[in-house]
């Protein structure tokens, strides 16, 4: 929370909230939320993703269960990348991967990514392989 920190905060009842530009409201600043906000900031400001194409914390039906995904990046209104965020100390293991894979059963995506802020793994579903970092956001000419 330094002067170079790009985020806005609010304290209510001794709890810190962070402004979520995607949901257009202050949300409780959990450890997982900190990772989500920083990764989304990185994707928009460093990787050139369109902020208007990012959906955060929406409910979907997976089998008989309602789930909430962390973030989905859309290309021309089609889901393109599913992002699952975990808090920094959480290990990215098979359990996390199974959670994300369950979402792909109801969403036709090109990429799925998991991160804990320190590590990030992205799987290219079309190429069936793991890639380094996050995929390049396609511009109008590549689609």
Whole-angstrom CA distances from 107 to 49, 53, 73, 77 are: 20, 16, 12, 12
Does residue 4 carry a pLDDT above 90? no
Tell me the per-residue pLDDT of 21-64, one tens digit each, with 9 for 90 and over. 999 999 999 999 999 999 999 999 999 999 999 999 998 888 88
CATH topology of domain 30-137: tt1808, chain A (3.90.1570)
Listing DSSP states for 65-132 in one string gives EEEE-SEEEEETTEEEEEEEE--TTS---HHHHHHHHHHHTT---SEEEEE-SS-EEEEETTTTEEES
The whole model's pTM is what? 0.88
What pLDDT, on a 0 to 100 scale, did the predictor assign at position 5? 86
Does residue 7 carry a pLDDT above 90? yes
Does residue 141 carry a pLDDT above 50? no
What pLDDT, on a 0 to 100 scale, did the predictor assign at position 3? 56
Tell me the per-residue pLDDT of 62-103, one tens digit each, with 9 for 90 and over. 888 898 999 999 998 999 999 999 999 999 888 888 888 888
Tell me the per-residue pLDDT of 97-128, one tens digit each, with 9 for 90 and over. 888 888 888 889 999 999 999 999 999 999 99
What pLDDT, on a 0 to 100 scale, did the predictor assign at position 106? 86
Q: How far apart are the first and last CA of the chain?
A: 39
In the predicted model, what is the mean pLDDT of residues 130-136?
A: 90
What pLDDT, on a 0 to 100 scale, did the predictor assign at position 143? 44
């Amino acid at each position: 929370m330094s002067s170079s920190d790009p985020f806005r905060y609010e304290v209510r009842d001794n709890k810190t909230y962070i402004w979520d530009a995607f949901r257009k409201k202050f949300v409780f600043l959990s450890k997982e939320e900190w990772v989500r906000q920083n990764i989304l900031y990185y994707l928009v400001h460093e990787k050139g993703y369109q902020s208007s194409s990012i959906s955060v914390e929406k409910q979907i039906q997976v089998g008989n269960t309602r789930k909430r995904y962390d973030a989905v990046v859309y290309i021309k209104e089609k889901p393109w990348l599913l992002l699952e965020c975990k808090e920094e100390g959480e290990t990215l293991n098979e359990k996390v991967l199974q959670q994300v894979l369950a979402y792909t059963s109801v969403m036709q995506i090109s990429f799925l990514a998991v991160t804990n802020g320190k590590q990030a793994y992205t799987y290219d579903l079309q190429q069936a392989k793991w890639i380094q970092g996050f995929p390049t956001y396609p511009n109008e000419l590549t689609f």
